[in-house]
Structures are given as C-alpha cells and as structure tokens.
Amino acid sequence: MSDTSWVCEPCGLEALPAPEGKPAIRLVDVEKTLDGKKVLDGVTLDIPRQRITAIIGLSGAGKSVMLKHMIGLIRPERGQVLIDGVDISRLSRGELYKARRRFGMLFQGGALFDSLTVFENVAFPLQEKTEMGEGEIRKRVLARLAQVGLEEAQGKFPDELSGGMVRRVAFARAMVTDPEIILFDEPTTGLDPIIRNSILNLICHTYHQHGFTMVMISHDIPEIFQWSHYVVVLHDGKVVEAGPTAEVVRSVNPFVQQIIRGDITGPVHLM
Ligand SMILES: Nc1ncnc2c1ncn2[C@@H]1O[C@H](COP(=O)(O)OP(=O)(O)OP(=O)(O)O)[C@@H](O)[C@H]1O
Ligand SMILES: [Mg+2]
C-alpha cells in the first residue's frame, strides 16, 4: 500500500512516519448475509497501521456491519478478518475477548449505558478489560474526561447530556484503555458544525499524541477528507475504491465522484 506525505490541513501536523510491517487490519473476501440479504459481498481491504482511515458510502451500504466484523462482533460466513495476521473470525470466545482488549470502539449514536453516569461509562472498559485498581481507574477516567472537556459532567447521566456531549463521552470511553486500534462509527453525524469540528480535532490530536490506528465511518463529505489519510468507499457490500485520500478524491470512478459530490444523477438511482 502506498503512503502519502500528508499534512493535516486543520492542525498543520504531518502524519506520523509510516510504520513497517503489515496492515493493522486485513479483510479477505469477507461475505455476510443478514436477513436473507448479502450485506458484505466479497470485501477485501487493508487498513493501514497508525493512520486515520475514513469509510464512506450510502446509508445501508454495509459500513457498520463491516466495522463490527473488524472487532469480531459479527463473524463472516466466508473469508478472513486478520488482525496482525490472526484470523479473529476463527477465535474462541475467550481468545476473541483477549483480542478485543487491543480495540476501542465508538458505536453509532454513542451507545452509552443509560443507567450509568458519565464517570461509570468511561470507567467501564477499564473494569472489564484490565486489572487496574480503583484509584488508578479514577485517575485515568478523570484525565480522559478532562481531554474531552467534560470533567464537570462526570456525575451526570446520558439523558442529561447534549448530543455533542454524548459523543465526547463515547470518545473518552473508546480511548480510555489506550487501545492500539480505535473504530468510530459516525462520531460526528447530526452534530452542529463547531462541535463536529471540535470532535474531529480531538480525534486528530489524539492520533498525533498516541499514534493509534483509527477507522472512522463518516457521512461528513467532503470535510472528512481533511481529517483522514486513507479513504474506503463501500457500495452495496463491496469496496469500490480504497487508497490515500488525495487519490480517492481524484478517482475516475463515476460512483465515487457521485458520492463525493452528492449528485442526484449518476450511476446510483435512489428514486
Ligand atoms: N443485525 C442485523 N440483522 C439484520 N440485518 C442487518 C443487521 N445489521 C445490519 N443489517 C442490514 O445490513 C445492511 C447494512 O447495514 P449497515 O448498518 O452496515 O449500514 P450502514 O452502511 O452502516 O448505513 P448507515 O450509514 O445508515 O449507518 C442494511 O440493509 C441493514 O438493514
Ligand atoms: Mg451505520
């Protein structure tokens, strides 16, 4: 996979040096049928290590289902999901649980636990996945909440938060264990432009600070291109384009151009 000399436009920082070795995540000919519909139809894809990868595509294209395969929440009928060369779709429950410790995940809509406070939501992965003591957990959670500007909200419940606050808490929860790979399912959809940019800025700064591998589903086109090194375009359960952002933006594929421009006319007819 080729790499780009890439500078983040909004924050002016260069991408971290390209690490040696294999892609962080590799999907090989993945197929999945749900409710009689082939949702993933032979997806083959490399997610580069220590890069921000955006996944774009129309609603129902299979983006969330694909992301859930990457963390083993859904198993494919066919194909492989390789994390550092290990096929996680073949692991036992116990092995999968261990493999998931390396991941953080922000689900579509935030998916906070309604009956837990902000503090308890962010502490949850540390209690589940680590042996940390209470004092250490407290310190880590408060540091992460400070990073997203929400220390004051630690005692609140999710229904007392605005949409933007929910995403920030979900972000703090996704990165609280210092995972190697963070998967974000639409971290900014439905937020006002300033909060959206503040979340993307937070993701970008966290990347530069920790060098995580980040995969982010987004409908924020074209803004998302400023914030991602690689772009994957999914349509009808197939990868129609994948590569460095600058190359995908210049793609001659008419479908890719239609989705980038949001054209009503083109190869995709919705009505
Ligand atoms: N658990 C499930 N059971 C049955 N069908 C499902 C399930 N999850 C997803 N699907 C179906 O798979 C298809 C792809 O869904 P997916 O959630 O991946 O879309 P998406 O690309 O993330 O769309 P959006 O941008 O609207 O979030 C849809 O037709 C959806 O109805
Ligand atoms: Mg989705």
Residue 36 near ligand 1, beta carbon < 6 Å = no
Read off the pLDDT of residues 20-42 as tens digits, 9 standing for 90 and up: 778 999 999 999 999 999 999 99
Atom number of ligand 1 nearest to Cα 219: 25
Residue 62 near ligand 1, beta carbon < 6 Å = yes
Average the pLDDT over each of 8-22, 182-196, 205-219 and give the range with the smallest value: 8-22
Domain count, the chain: 1
Residue 72 sits in a domain of what CATH number? Answer: 3.40.50.300
- Is residue 170, in this structure, part of any structural domain at all? no
For residue 65, the CA-to-ligand 2 centroid distance in Å is: 7
pLDDT above 50 (res 2)? no
Domain residues for the domain of 185 are: 25-102+180-261
Q: pLDDT-based confidence at 53, cuts 50/70/90?
A: very high
Residue 56 near ligand 1, beta carbon < 6 Å = no
Please write down the long-range contacts of 151-158, taking CB distance under 8 Å and 24 or more positions apart. Answer: 153/118, 154/117, 154/118, 154/119, 155/117, 155/118, 155/119, 156/117, 156/118, 157/114, 157/115, 157/116, 157/117, 157/118, 158/110, 158/112, 158/113, 158/114, 158/116, 158/118, 158/121
Q: Which residue has the tokens 């906070």?
A: 112
Phi-psi region of 200 (alpha: psi -120 to 50; beta: other; left: phi over 0): alpha
- Is residue 61, in this structure, part of any structural domain at all? yes
Atom number of ligand 1 nearest to Cα 68: 18
pTM of the model: 0.89
- Is residue 71, in this structure, part of any structural domain at all? yes
Give, for ligand 1, the residue of 35, 58, 106, 219 to mutate: max count of ligand atoms closer than 8 Å to Cβ.
35
Read off the pLDDT of residues 150-184 as tens digits, 9 standing for 90 and up: 889 999 999 999 888 898 899 899 989 889 899 99
